[in-house]
Amino acid sequence: MNKFELMALPYAIDALEPIISKQTLEFHHGKHLAAYVNNLNALLPGSGLEEAHLEEIVCKASGGILNNAGQVLNHELYFGQFTGKPTKQEPTGRLAEAIIRDFGSIEAFKEEFQKKGATLFGSGWVWLSADTEGKLVITQETNASNPVQKGLKPLLTFDVWEHAYYLDYQNRRPDHLAALWQIVNWDIVEQRYQ
């Protein structure tokens, strides 16, 4: 029987300031994500998915289980990809080559990613993913959806639910998205692409 746990942040609660404040992380990780984990654990018994891995649940479940499992997976990928001490501001190696191949340049990729995040209506996520051939795609996913549901491998995501930025940026979602590049841990994103 699975029991999901709230992930530990791989950095101090104030490490992402001023891009993501300590207060935002206290709510976003300590309240929102914790609630999704607790809800998922409460809903799983009797569902037939008690032994399934998180990604499997996201691909097979529906209703409340899907919503909460999706949000657990999404936030684990999201919180896991940041650092207060980036070793580099841009991707390198195979990932950089694939971005340039599929989007023209790193700058063009960032612009497209931000635009897709800014224009997603309502709550959701913008994702960079790889297909089974390694080709990169940017997708908008509403609410709790995740690219694994489309057979894609998720690499990088920006959360555009208001709870991700409202305390720090209020209605200025595009400014928040533009600032997030400063704290992306490209080493993690590159590992996900391997």
Smallest gap from residue 114 Cβ to Mn ion (A)? 18
Residue nearer to Mn ion on the CB measure, 23 or 89: 23
Amino acid (one-letter) located at 8: A
From 103-111, 136-144, 154-162, 182-190, give the range in contact with Mn ion by CB under 5 A.
154-162
Give me the 8-27 binding string for Mn ion, x by CB under 5 A, dash otherwise.
Answer: --------------------
d(CA 190, CA 78): 14
Alpha carbons within 13 angstroms on the beta-carbon side of residue 138 total 18
Would you count residue 161 as binding Mn ion (CB under 5 A)?
yes
Give me the 113-152 binding string for Mn ion, x by CB under 5 A, dash otherwise.
Answer: ----------------------------------------
From 35-43, 57-65, 91-99, 160-168, give the range in contact with Mn ion by CB under 5 A.
160-168
From 48-56, 138-146, 153-161, 167-175, give the range in contact with Mn ion by CB under 5 A.
153-161
d(CA 94, CA 68): 33
Phi, psi of 150 (to 5 degrees): -105, 10
Amino acid (one-letter) located at 187: D
Tokens of 130: 């790889």
Measured from each CB, the residue nearest to Mn ion is 159
**Residue for token digits 């600032």?**
179
Among 24, 159, 183, 184, binds Mn ion (CB under 5 A): 159
Q: Give the residue ranges of DSSP H helices in the chain.
A: 22-27, 34-43, 54-60, 63-80, 93-103, 106-118, 166-169, 173-180, 186-193
Smallest gap from residue 5 Cβ to Mn ion (A)? 18
What separation, in Å, do the N-terminal and C-terminal C-alpha atoms of the chain show? 30
From 14-22, 109-117, 139-147, 162-170, give the range in contact with Mn ion by CB under 5 A.
162-170
Site residues (vs Mn ion, CB under 5 A):
159, 161, 164
